[in-house]
Structure 1
């Protein structure tokens, strides 16, 4: 591609060469007319004589020979270690005494997939899927977070002050050594596979009756947004393996699906949502108490569903994929 200050584009080169070759203009006259050097005018005229219009396009600047290129045996070692151990360029370079940029160039030339696109256990490319319509599949999972003491926890106040704040917090239990135990918050989440529309509640436990009651509220929320849920996938947690969970979903006309054991990638959309949730809400700022953190959740969820750009959706928010949610199809 010609740069911003280039005097000639492909069409300009053709006009210059045509003036010299077809109309018989002297090189200096053509060069002066098109504001280039005579050497440049000769280059395009010679190409036009030999290749015609096809010779006016840009060519790769890659040299025909690269004497300092990494030797082929070393490249094979780099690719073998990548395939066998699934290491990154920096770690491979440390093994062979090469610069990380050199290893990266070798992997790029060979078309090696990025580590983020590989399953670390098998080395195979990750299969990504997306159901065609909202409600075809909803992912469900639970995220466990420690409660924040009044005055802030150890993440913001340090170990000593955080421990004092825990002890000073009212209505807390104690362990057998007399230490304060504030318990946990359980984030029950349901996220639509197609639109990534998410519904989350903070509950006190992860028992089967709690999970079943959560799903009834989650289904009502999805229905209010115009989504009819047809299938739900969850991991093999005890609450999701219970007869109560199965019977609750069957009563509502929903098919129950389980992830393969020890394969959290199958439920990856809700796992990734929980990572975003902790980064942008749970640990995003120093909350003075657990109640303050919980109070901030509804606003964050609204921003996530209605305004936050989602990379998997082409930079659009989840609501952009829910028909008629925002009145776009009145």
Structure 2
């Protein structure tokens, strides 16, 4: 396709070529008439003599010969290492004694996806999905987090002093529920991951989603002991909610809540130096509100989860 400021479209090229070839116009006169250079007029006239009207379309810029292109055997070796070992261009280049730029061009030429887009376990391109409506699927997970000892941890005191206090601090368990469609999150900091605790959390999370106008249809959890218990499994069923579990050793299946866990750690838990665990916990509700109502989400085209929830503010009854 010609660019937007091109003086000649395919129709204009054909008119120019016919003026030169069929009507005998001099190249200079045709070039002046169609406001192009004489060289351009000569090119289109030549293509018209050789190919006729079909010669007026744009040709590929790909060269007929590429004498500096890597040999086919080298390209096959690059592809083989990439498929079998799932290495990046730099490591492949070091192994084969090539320039990383050369390896990158070969991988690009054959359409091999970036490593960030591959499932490391299978080597296949990650298939991303999103359910059509809020409540179609809710991801649930538990994230263990070490408590901050009084006086601060290693960020405040340094590695050596922080290590002495760490053993006395204990652990917290963040129970998280994330709606697949809207990414709306409900989270609590609890003391353990027992089945009774997990069930009580889910009841509160379900009530929260219901208050936002979300009717939960399915929940997805990992294979933790609390989620395999009859107590937890029967509760969603009694509410008419289907419970699914991920395949063993496949946390990618529960990827949306796993990504929420990482965001939570980066932007709240480790975002600043806290002096006490109480100080960090006091900051959590404000952070969670910001995440749901104000923080732009890349999967939502820069909009917060609240933009996809029908009744998050409770204005409808």
TM-score by length of structure 2 reads 0.85
Matching of residues 111-190 of structure 1 within 5 Å: 111-163=111-163, 166=165, 180-190=167-177
Relative to structure 1, the CA distance from residue 121 to residue 7 in structure 2 (aligned partners, 3 Å threshold; closer, same or farther) is closer
- Give yes or no for contact 2:156–2:275 (8 Å, CA) kept in 1: no
Deviation at 1:317, TM superposition (A): 2.9
Instruction: Please list the CA deviations of residues 133-187 of structure 1 after superposition, one character each: whole Å capped at 9, or x if unmatched.
Output: 22121110011111223454213542145357x4xxxxxxxxxxxx751112211
- Give yes or no for contact 2:211–2:314 (8 Å, CA) kept in 1: no
Q: What residue is the counterpart of 2:62 in the other structure?
A: 62
**Matched residue SS, 2:47:** helix
- Give yes or no for contact 1:7–1:36 (8 Å, CA) kept in 2: no
Instruction: Please list the CA deviations of residues 231-261 of structure 1 after superposition, one character each: whole Å capped at 9, or x if unmatched.
Output: 2111111211222212332333322222122
Relative to structure 1, the CA distance from residue 316 to residue 10 in structure 2 (aligned partners, 3 Å threshold; closer, same or farther) is farther
**Matched residue SS, 2:64:** coil
Distance in 2 separating the partners of 1:52 and 1:199 = 67
Q: What residue is the counterpart of 2:73 in the other structure?
A: 73
Distance in 2 separating the partners of 1:53 and 1:184 = 76
Q: What residue is the counterpart of 1:272 in the other structure?
A: 259
Matching of residues 1-330 of structure 1 within 5 Å: 8=7, 10=9, 13=13, 16-17=16-17, 20=20, 25-33=25-33, 35-51=35-51, 54-163=54-163, 166=165, 180-323=167-310, 325=312
- Give yes or no for contact 1:7–1:34 (8 Å, CA) kept in 2: no
Relative to structure 1, the CA distance from residue 161 to residue 190 in structure 2 (aligned partners, 3 Å threshold; closer, same or farther) is same
Instruction: Please list the CA deviations of residues 50-78 of structure 1 after superposition, one character each: whole Å capped at 9, or x if unmatched.
Output: 45565444433221111111111111111
TM-score by length of structure 1 reads 0.82
Q: What residue is the counterpart of 1:174 in the other structure?
A: none
Alignment gaps of 5+ in structure 2: none
Relative to structure 1, the CA distance from residue 115 to residue 19 in structure 2 (aligned partners, 3 Å threshold; closer, same or farther) is same
- Give yes or no for contact 1:132–1:194 (8 Å, CA) kept in 2: yes
Deviation at 1:19, TM superposition (A): 5.5
Distance in 2 separating the partners of 1:270 and 1:254 = 19
Q: What residue is the counterpart of 1:175 in the other structure?
A: none
- Give yes or no for contact 2:172–2:190 (8 Å, CA) kept in 1: yes
Instruction: Please list the CA deviations of residues 302-322 of structure 1 after superposition, one character each: whole Å capped at 9, or x if unmatched.
Output: 332233333333443323333
Relative to structure 1, the CA distance from residue 214 to residue 36 in structure 2 (aligned partners, 3 Å threshold; closer, same or farther) is same
Aligned residues: 316
Deviation at 1:273, TM superposition (A): 1.4
Distance in 2 separating the partners of 1:250 and 1:314 = 34
| Aligned alpha-carbon RMSD (Å) | 3.1
- Give yes or no for contact 1:139–1:190 (8 Å, CA) kept in 2: yes
Relative to structure 1, the CA distance from residue 13 to residue 329 in structure 2 (aligned partners, 3 Å threshold; closer, same or farther) is farther
Distance in 1 separating the partners of 2:67 and 2:276 = 64
Distance in 1 separating the partners of 2:27 and 2:308 = 60
Deviation at 1:99, TM superposition (A): 1.6
Instruction: Please list the CA deviations of residues 85-117 of structure 1 after superposition, one character each: whole Å capped at 9, or x if unmatched.
Output: 222222111110112221122222222233333
Distance in 2 separating the partners of 1:63 and 1:183 = 66
Distance in 2 separating the partners of 1:239 and 1:156 = 35
**Matched residue SS, 1:240:** helix
Instruction: Please list the CA deviations of residues 270-294 of structure 1 after superposition, one character each: whole Å capped at 9, or x if unmatched.
Output: 1111112212222223334323322
**Matched residue SS, 1:129:** coil
